[in-house]
Amino acid sequence: MSAGFTEIIAIGNELLIGDVQDTNTTWLCKRITGLGGFVARATLIRDEPATIGELLLATLRRGAAAIFTTGGLGPTADDLTLPAIAAALGRPLVELPAARDMVQATYTRLARAGYVAHDRLTDERRKMAVLPAGAEPLFNPVGAAPGVVLRESGAAIICLPGVPEELQGIFEQSLGPLLRELYGEGFYDERIIQVQSGDESALAPVVNRLAAGHPQVYVKSRAKAYGPDVRLRITLSARGDGRAAVEALLERAAGDLQRELAAIGIAVM
């Protein structure tokens, strides 16, 4: 199981004016949870360096073992994540040769394919290789901006681009060793049980008893809007060291739930 918790910081005005749905946070939460990690919090903020830096420091103070940031790594002046992090951590920004080679290789590939006019490293392209001192660049298999890993006060800060395909490409292809270091051999699983009652209030005593009787299992019921075709979803989930222990916890809880539901005449779908 993970030694500590994870937080996500999603950066971009477009998220807070409602122009773009932040799917990156949900995607990261699902992947990290599946690796046995625990995402405690996710915060969406604007492209404001002072806010980015203040929130990063607050997250470190809360004791997060891993902090993922999304967005703000691109070539334009409103891509401010790395300068803001460098300032907050008191580190200079330096052009990193390994990152520059990655950016150059991407533009060489894009120019050959005819997607961009030339492969020279302009100031704007070069900006994507300027990272806080001590950073490790992460190969981006989709776009130009490398991801970035920083170590600070025992925590790993992982900066990913905001374009979902780039974020997912870096996570899947370039983060393997770090993810194993952070989340180890932890295991997470869940069971979803759908029932044919549209009345969450009738189910509440059952759900409450189940949660009290299975403290290691997280029990959550979710109602949809009311109506004749409405279903309720009860999710049982657990984290632990290894698959066998987690499955045993869920098996016992699911058995108890189904017995309790049958006793009050609610059908499981």
**Residues of this chain, 74-113, that bind a copy of itself according to CB under 8 A:** 74-78, 110, 113
Q: Which of residues 240-259 bind a copy of itself (CB under 8 A)?
A: none
Buried b (16+ CB within 10 A) or exposed e, 121-140: eeeebbbbbbbbeebbbbbb
Q: Is 1 in the site for a copy of itself (CB under 8 A)?
A: no
- Residues 230, 198 contacting (CB under 8 angstroms): yes
Q: Least distance in Å: CB of 146 to a copy of itself?
A: 14
Q: Which residues in the 158-197 window bind a copy of itself by CB under 8 A?
A: 162-163, 165-166, 188, 190
The neighbour count for residue 110, using CB atoms within 10 Å, is: 16
Cβ partners under 8 Å of residue 160, min gap 6: 24, 68, 69, 70, 73, 147, 166, 167, 170, 171
Binding test (CB under 8 A) with a copy of itself, winner from 3, 23, 153, 196: 23
**Does 44 contact a copy of itself by CB under 8 A?**
yes
Give 2 or 237: the residue with its C-beta nearer to a copy of itself.
Answer: 237
With respect to a copy of itself, which residue has the nearer C-beta, 28 or 89? 28
Number of Cα atoms under 13 Å in the Cβ half of residue 35 = 24
Q: How far apart are CA 42 and CA 33, in angstroms?
A: 13
| 142 in contact with a copy of itself (CB under 8 A) | yes
Provide the minimum distance between the beta carbon of 20 and a copy of itself in the complex, in angstroms, as a whole number: 8
Of 265, 258, 98, the closest CA to residue 174 belongs to 98
Q: Is residue 21 at the binding interface for a copy of itself, with CB under 8 A as the rule?
A: yes
- Least Å distance, CB 134 to a copy of itself, is 25
Does residue 222 bind a copy of itself (CB under 8 A)?
yes
Contact status: 115 vs a copy of itself (CB under 8 A): yes
Tell me how far apart the alpha carbons of residues 47 and 82 are, in angstroms, rounded to a whole number: 11
